[in-house]
Amino acid sequence: MGANAFGQSVTRREDFRLLTGRGRFTADLVPPGAAHAVMVRSPYAHAVIAGIDVAAAVSMPGVLAVVTGADLRAAGLGGITAGSALVKFPGTPADQDFLYRPGHPLLVHDRVRFVGDSVAMVVAETEAQASDAAEAIVVEYDVLPCVTDTKAAAAADAAQVWAAAPGNLCFAWQAGDSEAVRAAFARAAHVTTIEVVDTRIQVASLENRGAVGSFDGASGCYTLLTGSQMPHFLRDILADQVFGVAHDKIRVCVADVGGSFGIKNSLYPEQALVLHAAKLLGRDVAWVGSRSDGFVSDYQARDNVTTGSLALDAEGHFIGLRVHTIGAIGAYLAPKGQLSPTVNTPVLAGVYRFPCIHVAVDGVFSNTAPTEVYRGAGRPESVYLLERLVEQAAREIGVDAVEIRRRNLLGAEAWPYRTALGLLYDSGDFPGMLDAACAEADLAGFAARRASSEAAGRLRGSGLAQYCERVAGSWAESAWIEMGQDGRLVVLTGTMSNGQGHETAFAQLLSAQLGMDADMIDIVQGDTARIPSGAGTGGSASLGIGGAAIAEAGVDLVRKATPLAADALEAAEVDVAFHGGLFTVVGTDRAVGWDAVVSRIGPSGLQADGAYKPSNPTFPNGCHIAEVEVDPETGLWHVDRYTMVHDFGRVLNPMLLEGQLQGGVVQGIGQALCERVVHDGDGQVLTGSFMDYQIPRASDLPGLELVYRPTPSPANPLGVKGCGEAGNAGASPAVMNALADALWTRGVRRIDMPATPEMVWRALMSGP
C-alpha cells in the first residue's frame, strides 16, 4: 500500500469488515450460554411505588433471578451520581453550585419519575423467558401529577418532580457581565428579541444499547462488554460510584460501536446491573435493548426554550447580547447532563465583535428521560439562537442579512481576540469565509430563483448561518506505540471510535509521519485493561488531542530507533537525522530505512509513548447557506440548495472529513424538518417508534456543496481543528432562517423546529 500522505483521501480500512458483516457490536459479543436480562420499566411518568410482587415471576420457567431496588440497597450498590461541577466562566459567581442534585438509582424502589424508569430486572436462561417473567411482575403504583413541557416545568404551579427542588430548579447558572449588558441595552438604538425552541431529540443511533457482564470470583474482577465513547470514564464511575472497588477490578471492553453522538459516553443502569447479576449468578449476563425500549430509556437531548435579545446602535453594530435559557434536564441529572446548556454557551459570541454578553440558564427537572450531550453539546443550540436572532434583527432594521454580518464580523487582524465570554480566538478569516460562501451559493442569483418559484406558485427563502465553534479543549490524552520484530506497529490510544474512522485516520497520521506502510500499523482502542488511560472521544477532539498524542509517541519512537539506525550506518547517534522514513547521516547521502531498525530490535521490541494537552481549544468555523422552497397550499417544503464553506485547519483525510460534515448537516436538517419527542398530558411518549418519530430520509436532503477554506490552528502541532460536530452547528439555523425568509412575505413572524408541513401550513393560515 505504501505510505499515506497527510491530506490524502484514503478509503476507510474499517469498511470492508463492517460492510461484509464482520463487525463486532455488543450483541455480537454475547457468549454462548450467557443468561439474559430484561428490564421492568415504569408505564407512568410520576408515581409512588406502593408495592412490587415478584413471586409469580420467580417461579416461572428459566428464571434465574429477579432483582429490585430494595435488593440493590441491601447489597450496598450505589447509583449514578448526578452530573459534575458547574463550569466557571467570566461573570460566573464564585459560589455557583447546584440547588438540588439527586442521584439516579439503578433500580427505583420508592418513586418513578418518567415513563421508562427502571423498576426491576429479570434474568433468565433466554430473553423470551425473561420477557415473559417481567410481564408477570405486579407493581402497584399510586399515580401523581406530572410535567413534561419545558416551560411548564419552570412555572410556579408546575407539578414537582422532586420535593427538595422547589420550582423544579436543579441549577440557576450565569456567565458574562450583566451590568455592562444592562447599560448597552439602555443606550441601544434598536433591540431585537426572539424566543426559540430546541426540541427534545431521540438520538436513535444505528446500534441499540447493550451490555454483557461477567465476574471472576477468584480475582474479584468484573468485565463489561458494551458500546461507549469513553471506556475509562465508564470504568471509573462503575468502580467509584457503584461497586466501591479499585479501578483495576473493573475492565471495560468496547469493540465496534454503531453510532453514539454523545448518548453512549455515560453510565446507564443496565451496564451496572448486568455486572451485579453476573456476580450474583456466577455466569455471564447479557442485556441487549430493543429499539422500542430505547425510545423510553435512552438519554435524550436538547429540549431548551431560549429567549435572546440583541442590542444594536444606530449603525447596526452589535453592542450587547442577553440570553436566558430554560433547559430540561429530565427526571434525573445525567452524568454529563449539565454540560450542554452551560459549558458551551461561550459559542454565543459567534464570529462577531460583542462588547458584552450575559447568559443565564435555568436547568429544570421534568418527568421525562434525562437529557445528555448530543452532537455539538450546546454549540448547535447557541449558534441556532444567535443566527436566528441576527437575521431577525436584519429584517427589523431593514438591512440585508449579509450586510449586517459584515458590519459586525471579527477580522483576522483582531487575533488573538478575547471574547466577552472568555474564549481566546487564535485563527480564522471570518469576512473571507462569508464572501466565499456567498459566491459559492450564488447569492447574487437568488432573486431570479425566487421569482421563478413565485411564478410556479411556490415560496422561496434563503438563510445563512455563520459560526465559530470551541472544540478540543483543555483535557489531556496519551498514546503508546509498540514496534515488534516483524516491523509492525501497535498503537494504543485512549480515544474510542463510534464510526468516525479512527483506525484509518490514526494509521494514516503515523504513516505520513514515519514514512511507513499504513498496512503495517494496527490501532488498538477500547480495552481498559490493555490501555493504561484515556479521556475517550468527545468534543471533536480525537485528532486534535488524541492524534497529537499519537504523533508525540511517533517522535519518541524515532528517538528510540535512532541508536539502532546509527549502528546500521556505523555513525554516531548525534550525526543521524530522520526524515521521510529514512535515517540519514547528516551531510551525506548515506541512509537506511525502518528495515535496518527492525533487524536490530530485540525480543522485547521498541516501546514509545506520547502525551498531549492543549493550552487552548481549536476554533473550527464556517458559513452555511440554504435555500428552501415551500408549497403554500400544503405546507410541504424542501431544502433545494445547500452550501457549506468551512475552516477545519489542516485536513488529514478529506474523504473522512466530508463524511463527518454530511452526517452533521443531516442531523441538523433533521431537527429542523421533523425530529421531536412528544409526550401526552400523562407523560406517555407518543413518538415511541420510527412510525411516529421521523428521522430525515435521503429524499428529504439536497445535494451538499462542501468547500474548503482552511487556516491552520496554532493550538496543536498538527494544525487541525475538530470537525465532528460542526455540520450540525450550522445546519438548523441556516435551514430555519431560509424557511423564515420564505414565510416572511406572507406575514409569518415565528416558526419553530420541527417545522413539519402541518406547522408551516398552520403558520401560513394564521396570517400576520
Q: What percent of the residues of the chain are helix, what percent strand, and what percent coil, each to the nearest 5? A: 35, 25, 40
Residue 700 pLDDT exceeds 90 = no
The single residue listed with the C-alpha cell 479512527 is 502
Are 337 and 372 contacting, i.e. CB atoms less than 8 angstroms apart? Answer: yes
Q: How far apart are CA 271 and CA 269, in angstroms?
A: 6
Q: How confident is the model at residue 85 (pLDDT cuts 50, 70, 90)?
A: confident
- Please state, in angstroms and rounded to a whole number, the distance separating the CA atoms of residues 763 and 746: 9
First to last CA, the chain: 64
Closest Cα to residue 273, out of 68, 134, 81? 68
Half-sphere exposure of 399 (CA within 13 A, CB side): 20
Residue type, 207: E
CA dihedral for 253, 258, 260, 266, sign (positive or negative): negative
Burial of 40 (0-12, 13-18, 19+ CB in 10 A): buried
Q: So what's the pLDDT on residue 767?
A: 66
Furthest-apart CA pair in the chain: how many Å?
86
DSSP, collapsed to helix, strand or coil, labels residue 174 as strand
206 conformational bin, left if phi > 0, alpha if psi -120 to 50, beta if neither: alpha
Which CATH number fits the domain 14-22+475-612, given the four candidates 3.40.30.10, 3.40.50.2300, 3.30.365.10, 3.90.1820.10?
3.30.365.10
Half-sphere exposure of 230 (CA within 13 A, CB side): 22
Residues 6+ apart with CB under 8 A from 31: 212, 284
Indicate the SS3 state at residue 671: helix
pLDDT of residue 81: 85
> CA-CA distance, 232 to 536, in Å (whole number)?
7
Q: Which of 190, 61, 202 is nearest to 122 (CA)?
A: 61
**In the predicted model, is pLDDT for residue 1 greater than 70?**
no
575 pLDDT exceeds 60? yes
Torsion sign, CA atoms 26, 32, 35, 41: positive
- Answer yes or no: are the C-beta atoms of 160 and 168 closer than 8 Å: yes
CA distance to 485, 518, 556, per residue, from 607 (Å): 12, 18, 9
Q: What's the pLDDT at 467? A: 96
pTM of the model: 0.95
Task: Determine the 3-state secondary structure of 649 from DSSP.
Answer: strand
* pLDDT per residue as tens digits for the range 523-574: 999 999 999 999 999 888 899 999 999 999 999 999 999 999 999 999 999 9
- 75-80 average pLDDT score: 94
pLDDT in tens, 524-535: 999 999 999 999
**Which strands, in side-by-side order, build the sheet including 47-53?**
111-112, 47-53, 138-143
Compute CA distances 271 → 68, 498, 663, whole Å: 15, 18, 28
Q: What is the pLDDT of residues 6-32, one digit of tens each?
A: 999 999 999 999 999 999 999 999 999
Residue 706 has pLDDT above 80, yes or no: yes
CATH number of 346-472+617-766: 3.30.365.10
d(C-alpha 338, C-alpha 328), whole Å: 10
Q: pLDDT of 299-330, one tens digit each? A: 999 999 999 999 999 999 999 999 999 999 99
Q: Please indicate whether residue 715 or residue 584 has the higher confidence score (pLDDT).
A: 584
Alpha-helix runs per DSSP H in 302-416: 339-342, 379-397, 401-408
Q: Residue 2 has what pLDDT?
A: 64
Contact 502, 573 (CB under 8 A): no
Range of 272-286, 470-484, 657-671 with top mean pLDDT:
272-286
Written as nine digits, the cell of 157 is 404551579
Distance CA 396, CA 404 (A): 11
Q: Each residue of 448-507: pLDDT tens digit?
A: 999 999 999 999 999 999 999 999 877 899 999 999 999 999 999 999 999 999 999 999
356 sits in which H/E element: none
Q: What was the pLDDT predicted at 379?
A: 93
Query: Can you give the residue ranges of every domain in the chain?
Result: 14-22+475-612, 346-472+617-766
207, exposed or middle or buried, with CB in 10 Å at 0-12, 13-18, 19+?
Answer: buried
Which pLDDT score, from 0 to 100, does residue 115 have?
Answer: 98
- Estimate to the nearest angstrom the gap between the alpha carbon of 197 and the chain centroid: 19
Rounded to whole angstroms, what are the CA distances from 637 to 189, 384, 533, 665, 744? 36, 20, 49, 17, 15
Strand 704-708 and strand 637-647: the pairing is parallel
Q: Measure the CA–CA gap between 476 and 611, rounded to whole angstroms.
A: 7
Q: What is the mean pLDDT of the chain?
A: 95
CA distance 694 to 669: 12
Q: What is the CA radius of gyration of the chain?
A: 27
502-514 and 548-569 helices cross at what angle (nearest 10)? Answer: 40
Give the Cα separation of 209 and 227 in Å (integer). 7
Residue 250 Cα to chain centre, angstroms: 25
Angle at 41 between CA 207 and CA 51, to 5 degrees: 165
DSSP string, 109-144: SSEE-STT-EEEEEEESSHHHHHHHHHH-EEEEEE-
Helix 726-744 to helix 757-766 angle (10° resolution) is 30
Nearest to 82 by CA among 360, 331, 297: 331
Contact call for residues 194 and 124 (beta carbons, < 8 A): no
- 147-191 tens-digit pLDDT: 999 999 999 999 999 999 999 999 999 999 999 999 999 999 999
Report the distance separating Cα 448 and Cα 450, nearest Å: 5
The cell for 655 is: 474523504
Q: With pLDDT > 70 as the criterion, what percentage of the chain qualifies?
A: 99
HEC string for 61-86? CCEEEEEEHHHHHHHCCCCECCCCCC
pLDDT value of position 116: 97
Q: Is residue 557 within a helix (H) or strand (E), and if so which, with residue range?
A: helix 548-569
